[in-house]
Amino acid sequence: MSPNEQILQYPLAYETALEPAAKWAELRGTCPVATITVPDGSQAKLLTRYDDVREMLADPRFARKDLTDGTTSAAADTSEPPFSVPKHGEEHQRWRRMVGRWFTAKRMAALRPQMTAIADQLLDEMTGRGSSGDLKAHFAFPLPVYVICDMLGVPAEDRDLFSYWSDNFLNLSRYSAQERQTAVGELVAYMSGHIAAKRAEPTDDLLGTLIEESSGEGEALTDAELLGTGIGLLVAGHETTANMIGKMVAMLLADRTRWERLLENPSLVRSTVEEALRFDANGGFGLRRFLTEDVEIGGEVLPNGTTVVCAMGAANRDETAFENAAEMDLARTPNPHLAFGAGPHSCLGQALARTELQVALEVLLRRLPSLALDIPATDLERLEGLLVGGLSKVPVRW
């Protein structure tokens, strides 16, 4: 059976936690628009070539599926909770403009000292327990949620609550449907009260700034939109960044020469972060979109209503877009990877994620130059159940 006639089970199989699916290269070469069966039993089309994935992400005919239209097939992206944030058209762009003003380079630079302080505190606690441990549990997982709590003006004593809620939202196997429903209710109740307090007494954090800046422009964000913004930041910005910190460090330690090169030349931290994002072969399910009209892509005409999954990890290994794509080049530039998507729905918080990854790497290099994996890289295990890709543990010694 030719690749074009196969119906593949998705997600695809991987041999090790850090290596790409062997099928990626074959699909890019011979079947760039493959037919797959997703976990709910429905079929979709999988894109693996860089140009096709980028085109899809930027094309308004590839839309997100609303969860309220009664669709139960793969076209219904049940990975996305129904937060009250505009998803389409001018309303979505209005929301992006208002929230995006907060994620400026100047604002991220201002956040760096506090991020660094949090990272140092976490390493103080981790190293105080001994000479080895799980980098993910003690450093990578708490760092982003602590940063997000600071951005939202959440007191430090409530950070653990937010860690639990975030994990509950995205882990499909650890918690029951009832536990997830309860967690959603708890977070909504907490954030609703939090927003009400900020309306009464404005602050200079993200929510306070959005309330103050939008109120004077005739396009104020509603409480529902503010709630969706706060919850969306937690859900989209915690697990993804936490898992990326763990994967990035594992990639660098899997080949010790990479870590040594960074110790010798810390100026490579920024380009290393971008290359880790590109090189990541464990990005999770991928982005699901559906067609609003017939579209030709990859030489195939896909009919209106087709569900399409774009594999950004596969696209980021495309030799037609990246020279020596199978090699991790810490100095690679330019690096137009698709880890944050592309087009009008690209990741709004990518400046924050980049800053967190850079700070995490800078602090680890400074504090733990002797850092090493405590098990062979081939023994690292993928995290099961999460919609975003990650490692279950990152055992290290120092």
| pLDDT, tens only, 281-323 | 998 888 888 999 999 998 899 999 999 999 999 999 999 999 9
Total domain count, the chain: 1
Q: Does residue 110 register a pLDDT over 50?
A: yes
Q: Does residue 35 register a pLDDT over 60?
A: yes
Look up residue 125 and give its two tokens. 């606690």
Amino acid at 349: G
Largest interatomic CA distance in the chain: 66
The whole domain housing 265 covers 3-397
Please give the share of the chain, as a percent, with pLDDT higher than 90. Answer: 59
Q: Within a 13 Å sphere around the CA of 104, how many CA atoms are in the beta-carbon half? A: 7
**Each residue's pLDDT tens digit, 199-235:** 888 888 888 888 887 665 556 778 888 888 888 888 7
Q: Mean pLDDT: which of 160-164, 221-225, 272-276, 389-393 is highest? A: 272-276
Which of 60-69, 70-79, 244-253 shows the lowest mean pLDDT across its residues?
70-79
Q: Under a CB-based contact definition with an 8 Å cutoff, are residues 258 and 251 in contact?
A: yes
Q: Sign of torsion, CA 74 79 81 86?
A: negative
CA distance 70 to 17: 36
CA distance 398 to 385: 30
Q: Does residue 2 register a pLDDT over 60?
A: no
Amino acid at 263: L
Question: Which has the higher per-residue pLDDT, 184 or 324?
Answer: 324
Which of 30-39, 76-85, 192-201, 364-373 shows the lowest mean pLDDT across its residues?
76-85
Model pTM score:
0.89
Q: Mean pLDDT: which of 171-175, 235-239, 253-257 is highest? A: 253-257
CATH number for the domain harbouring residue 69 = 1.10.630.10
Q: Under a CB-based contact definition with an 8 Å cutoff, are residues 134 and 393 in contact?
A: yes
Cβ of 36: how many Cβ atoms within 10 Å? 21
